[in-house]
């Protein structure tokens, strides 16, 4: 195996891994200096020259010429008679320079060197990937699905780097097969046993934020800022936006003409409902906007405990709560308030507040009904058992017991 064969093979490997030339030279020099130290005990008097253009390698060893039988260290000194066999003009004290060929190290040492080169380049490549993606956390990446498993999918980026999309970071309606092109945001980058593990996500709020930046030029340019994003992936999202230019309507700019801008985002998120809300420091107004599309009659705030009591007409309660309770849950996350929904029933004065039954019904059960907007006896009795079980997290037997207690009150 000659000099040029070793360098050529390494050069091909380097090109494939896309490592810069100065790094290659540095790695080559370090590997060969290690070989020199093993063979000659020191590399202090050796020069390793790597031609950056063609990969040629030259190694020169310098020893001082001394009188015969006065050599104390053959690695640093050479006797005069030995040196004059190569150059008759040399004198004591001169430098004796000889070129060391790669073959002189032996086949085994050369093979070991090549293995070391490959190993070091792999380490460098892993470090480069780690640094590259560490700096890209929060950015959108595009990749191709290479393989899907039960708990995660393997995605390859444009350079063939492996990205992991866990099932927990996928939108529930996501379905991928090999060869599909997907977009996601770089969520987390860790080094696991010297190998970078790059986790990407389609459920993170940052993914929705980056999609808005791509679709809405005013956000990208900084004229509109996204104050906060909350999501129930695949179900609903609420985005609070604010404009720094009074002439720009932030909600209108984000939605676009006839929804042109937001439609692309909704499709990417598997038809996730997106509410764009105009941010305000007025807490009452902010909560009112956050509970859209429900119309609020009145709001009472408890600033100390960050709670809000919201009063609505009977037909608006289900809108405020939303399917599966997503609307009220996201509104609470967006505004930072614990929101309690109360029904205003003007026609029925005989109804009884649920808290009046605290002696017969446990507090946590009452809280569960109130959580879904059922805060009076008749609001519960107006629904059948199946619907009450669906809306709450209560067992059917528990719901039936509550209904019996409430019916007894009116009988």
Q: What's the mean pLDDT in 95-106?
A: 84
Q: What is the dihedral of CA 101, 108, 29, 98, to 10 degrees?
A: -20
Report whether pLDDT(2) > 50.
no
For 104, the token pair is 């002189």
What are the tens digits of pLDDT across the range 389-401?
A: 888 888 999 999 9
Share of the chain above pLDDT 90, in %: 42
CA distance 291 to 325: 11
Cα angle vertex 326, ends 337, 185, to 5°?
A: 95
| pLDDT in the model for residue 173 | 92
The correct answer on CATH 3.30.70.330 for the domain covering 141-203 is no
Looking at the DSSP bridge assignments, the partners of residue 112 are: none
Q: What contacts 261, CB < 8 A, 6 or more positions away?
A: 215, 216, 253, 254, 255
What are the tens digits of pLDDT across the range 312-359?
A: 887 788 889 888 889 999 999 999 999 998 877 555 446 788 888 888
CATH number of 212-279: 3.30.300.20
The correct answer on CATH 3.30.1480 for the domain covering 3-132 is yes
Report whether pLDDT(6) > 60.
no
Share of the chain above pLDDT 70, in %: 92
Rounded to 10 deg, the angle between the 21-40 and 3-17 helix axes is 140
Q: What is the largest CA-CA distance in the chain?
A: 127
Report whether pLDDT(138) > 90.
yes
Domain ranges of the chain: 3-132, 141-203, 212-279
HEC-encoded secondary structure of the chain: CCHHHHHHHHHHHHHHHCCCHHHHHHHHHHHHHHHHHHHHCCCCCEEEEECCCCCCEEEEEEEEEECCCCCCCCCCEEEHHHHHCCCCCCCCCCEEEEEECHHHHCHHHHHHHHHHHHHHHHHHHHHHHHHHHHCCCCCEEEEEEEEECCCEEEEECCCCCEEEEEHHHCCCCCCCCCCCEEEEEEEEEEEECCEEEEEEECCCHHHHHHHHHHHCHHHHCCCEEEEEEEEECCCEEEEEEEECCCCCCHHHHHHCHHHHHHHHHHHHCCCCEEEEEECCCCHHHHHHHHCCCCCCCEEEEECCCCEEEEEEEHHHHHHHHCHHHHHHHHHHHHHCCEEEEEEECCCCCCCCEHHHHCCCCCHHHHHHHHHCCCCEHHHHHCCCHHHHHHHCCCCHHHHHHHHHHHHHHHC
- Over the chain, what is the mean pLDDT? 86
Report whether pLDDT(129) > 50.
yes
Confidence of residue 7 (pLDDT cuts 50, 70, 90): low
What are the tens digits of pLDDT across the range 352-385?
A: 888 888 888 998 998 888 888 888 888 888 888 8
CA distance 237 to 170: 15
Q: What contacts 252, CB < 8 A, 6 or more positions away?
A: none
CA atoms within 13 A on the CB side of 303: 3
Q: What's the mean pLDDT in 206-220?
A: 94
- Count other C-beta atoms under 10 Å from residue 211's C-beta: 20
| pLDDT in the model for residue 1 | 38
Closest CA to 375 of 357, 360, 387, 359: 357
Please state which of the ranges 64-73, 167-176, 272-281 shows the lowest mean pLDDT. Answer: 64-73
What are the tens digits of pLDDT across the range 48-66?
A: 887 766 667 788 889 898 9
What are the tens digits of pLDDT across the range 75-89?
A: 788 888 888 888 888
Q: What contacts 145, CB < 8 A, 6 or more positions away?
A: 153, 154, 155, 176, 177, 178, 179, 180, 181, 182
Contact 312, 297 (CB under 8 A): yes
Cα angle vertex 32, ends 31, 34, to 5°?
A: 70
314 CB burial (10 A radius; 0-12, 13-18, 19+): middle
Contact 153, 147 (CB under 8 A): yes
For 278, the token pair is 């105009």
More confident residue, 102 or 348: 102
């Amino acid at each position: 195996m000659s000099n040029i064969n070793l360098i050529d093979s390494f050069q091909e490997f380097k090109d494939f891994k896309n490592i810069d030339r100065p790094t290659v030279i540095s790695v080559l020099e370090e590997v060969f200096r290690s070989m020199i130290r093993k063979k000659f005990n020191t590399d202090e008097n050796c020069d390793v020259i790597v031609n950056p253009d063609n990969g040629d390698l030259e190694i020169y060893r310098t020893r001082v010429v001394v009188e015969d039988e006065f050599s104390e260290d053959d690695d640093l000194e050479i006797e005069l008679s030995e040196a004059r066999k190569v150059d008759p003009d040399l004198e004591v004290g001169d430098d004796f320079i000889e070129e060391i060929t790669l073959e002189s190290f032996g086949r085994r040492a050369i093979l070991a060197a090549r293995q070391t080169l490959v190993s070091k380049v792999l380490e460098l490549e892993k470090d480069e990937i780690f640094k590259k993606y560490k700096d890209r956390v929060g950015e959108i990446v595009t990749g191709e699905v290479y393989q899907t498993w039960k708990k995660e999918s393997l995605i390859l980026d444009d350079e063939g780097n492996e990205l992991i999309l866990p099932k927990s970071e996928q939108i529930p309606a996501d379905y991928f097969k090999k060869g599909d092109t997907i977009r996601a945001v770089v969520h987390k980058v860790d080094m696991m046993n010297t190998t970078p593990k790059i986790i990407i996500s389609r459920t993170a709020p940052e993914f929705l934020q980056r999609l808005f930046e791509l679709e809405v030029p005013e956000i990208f340019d900084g004229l509109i800022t996204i104050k906060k994003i909350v999501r129930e992936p695949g179900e609903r999202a609420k985005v609070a936006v604010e404009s720094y230019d009074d002439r720009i309507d932030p909600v209108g700019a984000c939605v676009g003409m006839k929804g042109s801008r937001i439609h692309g985002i909704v499709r990417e998120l598997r038809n996730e409902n997106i509410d764009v809300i105009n941010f305000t420091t007025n807490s009452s107004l902010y909560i009112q906007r956050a509970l859209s599309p429900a119309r609020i009659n009145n709001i009472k705030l408890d600033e100390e405990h960050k709670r809000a009591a919201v009063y609505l007409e009977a037909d608006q309660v289900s809108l405020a709560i939303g399917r599966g309770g997503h609307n009220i849950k996201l509104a609470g996350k967006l505004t930072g308030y614990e929101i309690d929904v109360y029904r205003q029933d003007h026609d029925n004065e005989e109804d009884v507040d649920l808290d009046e039954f605290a002696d017969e019904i446990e507090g946590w059960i009452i809280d569960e009904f109130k959580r879904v907007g059922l805060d009076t006896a008749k609001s519960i009795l107006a629904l059948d058992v199946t619907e009450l079980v669906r809306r709450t997290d209560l067992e059917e037997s528990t719901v039936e017991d509550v209904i019996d207690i409430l019916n007894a009150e009116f009988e």
